[in-house]
Each structure stands twice: as C-alpha cells, then as structure tokens.
C-alpha cells in the first residue's frame, strides 16, 4: 500500500478586507458583536499566538450569542462593540451571576471582553475595572481544588489499559503523558513524536500556557515512572497501527482520516466514554492537581520541586490552585511535631 504523507494545510484565507484603519466606519451588519470578531482575530495575529487567539475568539463567539439573547430580551441596548456602555456590561454581569459562574470564569470572560471592546475603541469596561466597580463581582469564595483519590486514579488507569482500537491507543498515551508530566490538556494535544524522549524521560512543551507572552517552551521531566511503560507501549502501538495503513505523520496524536492532530474535543469524547465504562467522573485538567496533591501529601517538604514541575513562578500559585491540603492530611503531618517543643508539665 502506498504511503500517505501528511496533507498540507490550506493556505491562509484572504484577510485584506479586515485590515482597515478606521474601525469606526466599518459596517458590522445586524450582528455587530459576532461580525467584529473576525476583524479582531486578524489584527491580533501580530501580537499573540494562534492558540491564544483561537481560545479568545471561541469565548467571544459564545458571548456573542449571549448578547444577542440579552438584546432580544431588552436587557442590553446594543451589541455593537463600539457603542456598548456600562449598562450593557452590567446586564452581562447579571447573566453570569445567574449562571453561578466561578469567580475565575467571570474574570476570564471579562478579561477577554475588555480586550475586544478596547480593540474597537470602547473603554467602558476598562473604566469600570479602573474605578473598582467590578471588585464586588469578582470577589467570592474560591472553589475547592478538584483532584482524584488514589483509588479513583487506579480505576481510571486500569480501565484505559483495556480500551480497544486506535482510540484506545490514543487515549492511553494522552492520559499517561498529561499525568506523567503534570501538564495542562492543551499543552499535550498538538505534540510531535520527537517531543517524547524515552531515553531521559523528558517531554517538550511546545505549546505552553500564555504562548507568545510569558509562556516558555521547554523540556520537562516525565516524573511519574509508573506511567513510563504505558507511554512506551503507546508509542509502539501507534507506530504499528499507522505503519499497517501506510500513514506517516509527526503528530503524536494523529487523526488517520485528516492526518492532522486530533482536537481536544475528540479526546473529551473519549473521556466521556471512559467515564461511562469505568464509573469515575473526571476532567482532563484534573490530572495536574491530582499529581500535585498526591505528591505533596506524601512529601510536604517537596513544595519547591512540585512548583518547578508545575512551572509556576511562585509556590503560592501551586498551593492555592493545585494542592488540596485537607484537615486530615494536616493532622497526619502535625501528629508528632509537638515533640520538638514539649512543655515540662507535672504529672
């Protein structure tokens, strides 16, 4: 069978019509918020990485439908990003509160919206932020850190070892790597075969968080040695499957139909299947805090090493968002600490 090489991506589409100097004169049509996103996408290409732009535009398109509905309900005056004012933004705040979004989610949506409005010369949200108007909306109790108990983790890994077909091969490799490196889901999905070094057990993070800004591409350790055999098996099974079909691709998680990397949506679909079959509900992002929590619970003095693996600038970030340190664990760690400072009491 003739070998197929990875198909070339289509060339960039003509974006010249979006490169206009006077944004105030642009006609955005009946759905101005949605139409304006394409102008924003094209102009941001010089300042941010493709992955960051994609995620921001995905959020904006979702919120475009939200603003459309709010306008239909008479709760916002306009959805034109050039003319939206404080009252329009407040309606959006009320909508987010009604959805019971976490503070972190509210902050992400507002940050994205602020950038979009400023692009169109609208500083209404930026002014609200500067005056402190948003402070009450962005305050609240931090949610508990989600993580898997060791028994749940064991159950998941035992199940995925038996998942059949190419989907099973891909899912085993993906989960083994994100847990093995304590990585973020998006940092792994577009990996290349050469990003996995099984000699020194290192992984190259080529698409870090905040890529193009403060994110840094780097080699990190695959610190969980218990998943090393699964990663080795994944690479062998992947190679055999693709070779049998005459497929060659550098993508680690290649889709045999498109010869491009699988999307995170496909991995999530496999996760839903695994959840149904093994009986444990989990999120792809939970493997990172699970690794941090399990490691810290057994070795509290390893805080700085854990922080280094998570690639945070400050340990406070790891401690606040990734290490679930519970009362039960604190009691265990402090059980004999009193012996270091005993009181001399009469019996």
Whether residues 127 and 155 share a domain: the answer is: no
Whether residues 213 and 282 share a domain: the answer is: yes
Q: Please check whether residue 318 lies inside any domain of the structure.
A: no
Q: Tell me the per-residue pLDDT of 83-138, one tens digit each, with 9 for 90 and over.
A: 999 999 999 999 999 998 888 889 889 999 999 999 999 999 999 999 999 988 88
Q: Please check whether residue 323 lies inside any domain of the structure.
A: no
Q: Tell me the per-residue pLDDT of 247-298, one tens digit each, with 9 for 90 and over.
A: 999 999 999 999 999 999 999 999 999 999 999 999 999 999 999 999 988 8
Higher pLDDT, 313 or 109: 109
Q: What's the rounded mean pLDDT across residues 76-84?
A: 95
Residue with tokens 């994944």: 234
Q: Please check whether residue 144 lies inside any domain of the structure.
A: no
What tokens were used for 168? Answer: 């099973």
Domain end among 131, 160, 179: 131
332 has pLDDT over 70: no
Whether residues 174 and 286 share a domain: the answer is: yes
Instruction: Spell out the residues 6+ positions from residue 1 whose beta carbon is closer than 8 angstroms to its own.
Output: 245, 246
Asked whether the beta carbons of 224 and 235 are under 8 A apart, the reply is: no
Whether residues 188 and 288 share a domain: the answer is: yes
Domain end among 71, 97, 131: 131
Whether residues 253 and 174 share a domain: the answer is: yes
Q: Please check whether residue 168 lies inside any domain of the structure.
A: yes
Whether residues 160 and 210 share a domain: the answer is: yes
Q: Tell me the per-residue pLDDT of 152-195, one tens digit each, with 9 for 90 and over.
A: 999 999 999 999 999 999 999 999 999 999 999 999 999 999 99
Q: Please check whether residue 44 lies inside any domain of the structure.
A: yes
Q: What's the rounded mean pLDDT across residues 70-93?
A: 95
Asked whether the beta carbons of 89 and 97 are under 8 A apart, the reply is: no
Q: Please check whether residue 304 lies inside any domain of the structure.
A: yes
In this prediction, residue 13 carries a pLDDT of 57
Percent of the chain with pLDDT over 70: 85
Per-residue burial over 161-192, b = 16 or more CB atoms within 10 Å of its CB, e = otherwise: eebeeeebbbbbbbbbbbbbbbbbbbbbbbbe
Higher pLDDT, 5 or 221: 221
- E strands along the chain, which residues? 4-5, 196-197, 202-205, 218-221, 247-248
Whether residues 291 and 159 share a domain: the answer is: yes
Asked whether the beta carbons of 222 and 176 are under 8 A apart, the reply is: no
In this prediction, residue 218 carries a pLDDT of 93
Q: Please check whether residue 108 lies inside any domain of the structure.
A: yes
Whether residues 179 and 103 share a domain: the answer is: no
What tokens were used for 125? Answer: 């949200």
Higher pLDDT, 209 or 121: 121
Asked whether the beta carbons of 326 and 315 are under 8 A apart, the reply is: no
Q: Please check whether residue 183 lies inside any domain of the structure.
A: yes
In this prediction, residue 300 carries a pLDDT of 78
Whether residues 302 and 161 share a domain: the answer is: yes
Residue 112 belongs to domain spanning? 14-131
Residue with tokens 């406070």: 316
Number of structural domains in the chain: 2
Whether residues 199 and 51 share a domain: the answer is: no
Q: What is the CATH number of the domain that holds 215?
A: 1.10.443.10
Range with the poorest average pLDDT among 61-75, 133-147, 231-245: 133-147
Neighbours of 227 (CB within 10 A): 22
| Reported pTM | 0.65
Instruction: Spell out the residues 6+ positions from residue 206 whose beta carbon is closer than 8 angstroms to its own.
Output: 190, 191, 192, 195, 217
Whether residues 105 and 164 share a domain: the answer is: no
Strands 218-221 and 202-205 come out as antiparallel
Whether residues 84 and 189 share a domain: the answer is: no
């Amino acid at each position: 069978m003739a070998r197929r090489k990875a198909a070339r991506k289509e060339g960039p589409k003509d974006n010249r019509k979006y490169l206009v100097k006077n944004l105030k004169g642009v006609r955005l049509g009946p759905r101005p918020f949605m139409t304006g996103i394409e102008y924003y996408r094209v102009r941001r290409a010089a300042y941010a990485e493709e992955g960051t732009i994609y995620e921001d535009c995905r959020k904006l398109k979702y919120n475009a439908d939200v603003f459309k509905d709010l306008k239909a309900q008479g709760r916002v005056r306009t959805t034109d990003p050039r003319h939206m004012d404080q009252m329009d933004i407040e309606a959006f705040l009320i909508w987010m509160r009604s959805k019971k979004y976490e503070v972190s989610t509210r902050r992400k949506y507002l940050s994205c919206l602020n950038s979009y409005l400023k692009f169109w010369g609208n500083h209404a949200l930026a002014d609200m932020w500067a005056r402190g108007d948003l402070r009450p909306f962005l305050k609240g109790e931090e949610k508990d850190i989600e993580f898997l108990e060791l028994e749940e983790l064991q159950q998941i890994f035992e199940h995925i070892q038996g998942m059949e077909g190419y989907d099973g091969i891909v899912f085993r490799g993906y989960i083994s790597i994100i847990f093995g490196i304590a990585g973020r889901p998006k940092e792994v999905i577009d990996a290349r075969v050469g990003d996995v070094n099984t000699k020194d057990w290192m992984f190259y993070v080529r698409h870090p968080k905040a890529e193009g800004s403060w994110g840094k591409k780097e080699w990190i350790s695959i610190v969980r040695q218990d998943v090393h055999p699964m990663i080795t098996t994944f690479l062998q099974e992947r190679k055999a499957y693709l070779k049998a079909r005459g497929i060659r691709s550098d993508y680690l998680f290649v889709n045999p139909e498109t010869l491009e990397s699988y999307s995170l949506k496909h991995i999530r679909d496999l996760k839903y299947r695994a959840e149904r079959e093994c009986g444990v509900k989990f999120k792809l992002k939970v493997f990172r805090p699970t690794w941090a929590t399990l490691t810290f619970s057994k070795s509290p003095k390893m805080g700085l090493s854990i922080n280094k693996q998570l690639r945070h600038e400050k340990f406070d970030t790891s401690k606040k968002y990734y290490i679930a340190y519970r009362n039960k664990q604190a009691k265990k760690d402090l059980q004999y600490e009193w012996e270091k400072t005993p009181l001399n009491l009469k019996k």
